[in-house]
Each structure stands twice: as C-alpha cells, then as structure tokens.
Amino acid sequence: MAPAGEKIGIEERQLNLIQALLYTERPLRAEELRALVNGYRGYDNDESFRRTFERDKQALLSMGVPLVVAGAGADGGTEGYRIDRKRYYLEMPDLAEDELAALRLAVSLVQVGDASGEEALWRVGGVVDTGDGPLAGARTAGPVAVLPSSANLDRIFAALTERAQLTFTYKGEERTVDPMRLDFMRGRWYLSADDHSRNGALRCFRVDRIDGQAHVAAPGSFTRAPDRVVPAPSEAWGFDVDDTVTARLLVDESHADLVAHRLGDTARADRQDDGSVLFEFEVRHRDGFRWLVIDLADHAEVVGPDELRQDLIDWVAGALR
Amino acid sequence: MSRVPATTRVPRLLAIVAWVASQADGVPVEHICKRFGIGRTQLLAELNTVMLTGVPPYTPDALITVFVDDDIVRILPQWLDKSMALTAAQGLALLAAAEGLHDVPGSEPDGPLARAMHKLAAALRARPGRDVDIHLGSVGGGVLPVIERALADGESVAITYLSANADRTDERVIEPWVLRAIDGAWQVDAWCQRAGGVRTFRLDRMRDAAPTGEAARTPRGEVDAPGYRSGPDDVPVTLLLDPEVAWVVERWAVDDLEELDDGRLRVHLRVGAAAWLQRILLALGPRVAVEDAGDSRVVDVRPMAERILARYGR
C-alpha cells in the first residue's frame, strides 16, 4: 500500500475503486472516495483529482461495471456512487473445459462485429484451446461469419434479457415495445416485439432500420409469460400482408434441394416419382411468393390454388404486352 | 502472446482473480498464462499489484491475499471472488457465436457446444432458438463437411453446381480457399479449375460435392471482399426503380445510385449473366423500367417469360 501523498498505478487505483464501490452499503460521494480509496489520497489538487476520477469512472463504465449514481447526502441531493452488486457479479455458468473449448472455437468462427470474444471468454472462465468441433477445419481461414453489430443491437439484447421496454423511432414513428425475440437471418438482425403503438400486437423490426438511439427502460419493466413462444420472422412470402393461402409449388428435381433449404421446416414436401418435389406452404404476401417462383424460372410451377397460379401467369404475361 | 491494451488489463486481472479463487487447489502459473493470454513476468507483476489492493482501511485483513508457492497460485479475493458479469455486447457475442455454430449441420445436439450454449443462455436469461436465434445460412448436411475437409487438407472437390447466372447444372473441380456465411447463404471462394480463376459458389446450390483425393494445384491467394466480381464481358445497365421496390438494390453490387425528384431510384450496374437480371426484371414487372442497356438482349425478358408461360401451357 502506497503511503499518503504518493501516487500509485492506474490498475491498483481502479481495482481499489471497484472494491470500495462493491463494499460500500451506501452511495459514496467523490470527496468521500478521495479520502477513502487508496490511490486518490495522493491527489492534493482538486482539479487533477476530478480529472482522474472522471477517467476512472469512464474506464469502469467501458468495462461494463454497473455503476449506480444516486443521491448521497442527507437530503439525497449530492451525487454518490456505488456498484450494483447483483448486476456486477456474474452468475457464472459452470463451464467444463470441453465446453469452454467449444465456445472458444465458436467465437473464433462466428464474430459479432469486430470483437474477438476473448474478453468475454475471460469472464466465463478463460480461453481454452481445442482442435475439434463443427467447422474446426475452416478455422485457419479466419471467421466464417461476421455478424453486424451496433450500439442499438447491444441495447436490444440487454432489454430482451432484462425484460426492459424499448422505445425507438422506426419509419419515422416512435414505437414502445416489449422485446420478445432477436433473430439473425438472411444476414440481418430482426427484433420481434409486442408493439404498444399497435395495441400490443407482435411486430417484427429490422434492427438496422431503427433511427437514432433506442432507449432501454428499467429492468423488469414488463413481464413475459415463461411459456410464451414467439415465432421466427417470416420469409418474404410469409409477411403478413395478404390473406393466407396454402400454395402448392411443384419444383424440378434439379432445384428441389435449393427450395427445400429456403422453405425450411415451414413446408410439407412430397417427392414425386420423377424426382420433382411438391411443396405445400402458407403464403401471406403475393409479391414475395412471386419473387420465389420467378427466381426458379421454368423449373417450378404453381399447381394451386388457382388464384395464385393465375396471378403468376398474368404477372409474367404482362411482360409480353 | 497477443499484446493487451491497458484498458483491458483491469478486466483481465479481475477475471484471473475470480477464476483462480474458484480453483480450490490453486493453479500453476503457466496454466493461468495460457488461459488468459498473458506472459509469466507480466502475470507475476500484476498479481503483485493485486496484493496491494482491497478495501478501506487497507489493513492486511482488508487486502487481497495472493500466495505463489512452487509456482502454484492461490488467491483469497475478498470482494473480487466472482467474475464481473458480461456486458450485453459480450453476452450476445458469446451466445450468437455458440448458436451460429450450433446451427451448422454436423453439430452434436448434446455435445460440449450445445451444453455451453444452454448454460450461457440460462445465465443470460435468453432461451436459445426461442429468444435469440442465429441462422447463418441454409446448407445441405453433406456438402459442408466436404468443403471444410478440403479446406483443412488443401484438396480439391468435384461439385455439381446449379449456377444462378447461367440457370443450368454443371460439373466443376474447385479448390476451396475461404468458407463464409454471407447474407444468409454459405459460400466458398474457390479456385475453379475450369474457369482458371477465383469464383464464389453457394453451398445451397451444390447438388453434390465429393473429395477428389487430389491436392489443390493453385496456391491460395488473397480473396476480395465478398460480393459480385465484375468481368470483362459485363454489360452496363441503367434501371429506374419505383420507391416501393428500391430495397432490392441493397444486395446488388451497383456502380452508382441516384434518387430522382419523383422518388424513383436510378441504378447503374454491370451485369455478367442475363438470366439473373431477366428474372429480377420479370419479378419486378411494372415497378422497374430499363433506361439504358449496353446490349438489349440482356434486358429482353420475353424469352424468359415465354419459357415460364410454356410451363403453364401458354
């Protein structure tokens, strides 16, 4: 411990600050911290103390330390600080060595933004190397997927896990929502949420189309039924635009696998004797359905219902007029 | 050993303290170094710093205790006995990586990755596949392991490929260079022996892929950023898109974009494969107009429309 009047290293000072803020039962004012915390006692000059304290505060916030700012005086008027212990201490998932190794492989192959994931691994038990796992052979070539990141994405994830309401501007309109589900598909992030601006109806938002900064309300500002299951966002033909019809699409053998991948488990597939496959699936957006079918050129045929078949014929025939 | 900036040394030290404290029998110095990417000298110096910290009044009983005996480290951490919670960004990075890789065919449903994902998800209060779901791309079960093996072993692969551009199936031998999931599709950048150049192949368009057992002939080189690579025979085309379909350009490699006073979008692009453009023009119908084309055959949708209508007996 450094004697009073002597300045100590930044790491030692910040570790002392974190421990003091964890230990205290009540918010501590900056001046109290200056007097108490080993590392600030060397600062005789008010201004240099203030600058150092501000820098340390920012450093703690950037590490993700849940710093609480609250009234600290008798009248509650003076700003004081403490760390929310419940939010600071990680309920550490008890990860076995092979599980940590699997996570290590995962973050080296699938990245969100430019974060390496290494610092996150430290917090759950460290970086354990392995040679095996899905796609381990592709690892030498760097990540196989880099998912887009943004400050709003982090806020949405925080709101989702903390059951906090979100407010943001979407298509020029302010929306207040209860976040229910976050999906990464087709190379983009989608938020499914109960939209208070639409009488609580479930709506899907593209995260990259949120304007400006999303605001996160206090944790626990809504409740979610534990057994609630929110469906994944639809492909274009499933967008809730038109009446629902069940399409029957016959696809040549050459293109059947491709269509099977796109439809996933939302479709029923019957392989025919000639190798072609008859797919049955729900269509709620005619434009999206037309895109799917025309993209297959003459390797697919809408066999029913008549209205969808005729719609496609009329649309394509329009190009010949 | 990667260099760690000052701003990450404190969180790393907090993680080291919490983890070593959780190991009842202590941990060898080398083990900590490997696990947290830190050199021996640096670790011992930082542990010395840790020993000086604690809570007021900083009497010995209020300080963290660190023992290093026979190269085994033991820590009595006081207030730092548990690791700091993950930030939202870190939690999402770990969960998305685990879910993304778990989504890949061949991942064991009860393997270590699945177990790690479920434990992490429980700690973060986000049910995998229900609250957070990551789908990197669609791919058949058999193709991906073949490409992965060829990448790892430096071998070539014979594929049957359904070309989106030429609208036909053909056979090729490719030498995989880079595997990536982009815009919801798994792709491999590979040297194509027939084309004598690097081409991008979507795995969901491979009807078959089989190892040739032969080593790749072409040394791997740099691969451009993902996207369409224009060729010398590409035709310049200018399209006018109605506002409601302007979104379609988001995934095109366009030369230039211009928003007109009436809200329409003027798009300049180069097209290598007529069939691709013709299908798009047909799907967009009256919402797109061709303003200019270097070769009128490229934008002539009539043959494609006639082929489709023939399928319906028209």
What digits encode the pLDDT tens for the residues B60-110?
999 999 999 999 999 998 889 888 999 999 999 999 999 999 988 778 888
**CB A90 to CB B286 under 8 A?**
no
Q: Please check whether residue A68 touches B, CB under 8 A.
A: no
Q: Which of A218, A216, A223, A172 is nearest to A194 (CA)?
A: A223
pLDDT of residue B163 exceeding 60, the answer is yes
Question: Do the Cβ atoms of A29 and A73 come closer than 8 Å?
Answer: yes
A189: closest chain B residue by CA: B134
Q: Which residue has the tokens 């071998």?
A: B155
CA distances from A124 to A114, A222, B134 (A): 20, 28, 21
Continuous segment of H or E residues that includes residue A182 = strand A173-185
Q: Does A241 touch chain B (CB under 8 A)?
A: no
Distance, in Å, from the CA atom of B279 to the CA atom of B34, rounded to the nearest integer, reads: 54
Q: In what order do the strands lie in the sheet with B288-293?
A: B254-259, B265-271, B235-241, B288-293
Residue ranges of A 16-35 with Cβ closer than 8 A to chain B:
16, 18-20, 22-23
DSSP secondary-structure letter at B142?
T
- The secondary structure of residue A14, as a DSSP letter, is H
- Cβ–Cβ gap A15/B302 under 8 Å: no
- pLDDT for position A284: 84
Mean pLDDT, rounded, of chain B: 87
User: Do the Cβ atoms of A266 and A281 come closer than 8 Å?
Assistant: yes
Sites in chain A below the pLDDT cut of 70: 1-7, 72-77, 116, 131-132, 138-141
CB A21 within 8 A of CB A64: no
Query: What are the residues whose beta carbons fall under 8 Å from the beta carbon of B80, sequence distance 6 or more?
Result: A15, A18, A19, A22, B14, B17, B18, B21, B64
* pLDDT tens digits, B19-52: 999 998 999 999 999 999 999 999 999 999 999 9
Alpha-carbon dihedral sign for residues B294, B298, B303, B308: negative
Interface of A with B in 107-126 (CB under 8 A): 107, 109-113, 115, 117-126
Cα(B206)–Cα(A199) distance, rounded to whole angstroms?
46
Q: Model confidence over B208-265: pLDDT tens digits? A: 899 999 988 888 877 666 555 666 678 889 999 898 887 777 767 778 888 888 889 8
- Binary contact (A294, B179; C-beta < 8 A): no
Query: B53 vs A16: CB contact, 8 Å cut-off?
Result: yes
Place of tokens 């490699």: B253
- Look-up: residue for tokens 């009983």? B61
For residue B5 the two structure tokens come to 């900036």
Residue in A closest to B139 by C-alpha: A261
- Chain A stretch 200-219, residues whose beta carbon is closer than 8 A to a beta carbon of chain B: none
Nearest to B84 among A23, A64, A319 (CB): A64
What per-residue confidence (pLDDT) applies to B13?
Answer: 94
Distance from B200 to chain A by nearest Cα, in Å? Answer: 14
Token digits for B161? Answer: 């490929």
The Cα A21–Cα A34 span in angstroms is 12
Residue of A21, A24, A67, A112 for testing the chain B interface, max B β-carbons within 10 Å: A112
Among the partner-chain residues A123, A154, A187, the one whose CB lies closest to the CB of B84 is A123
Q: Test B100 with A120 for CB contact under 8 angstroms.
A: no
- The verdict on whether omega for the bond into residue A305 sits within 30 degrees of 0, i.e. cis, is yes
Which of A7, A9, A36 lies closest to A24 in space, CA to CA? A36
| A81–chain B nearest CA distance, Å | 15
| CB within 8 Å of A3: residues ≥ 6 apart | none
**Residues of B in Cβ contact (< 8 Å) with A313:** 309, 312, 314
Give the 3-state secondary structure of residue B35: helix
Residue B152 has pLDDT above 90, yes or no: no
Q: What is the ipTM of this complex?
A: 0.84
Tokens in use for A64? 């993700």
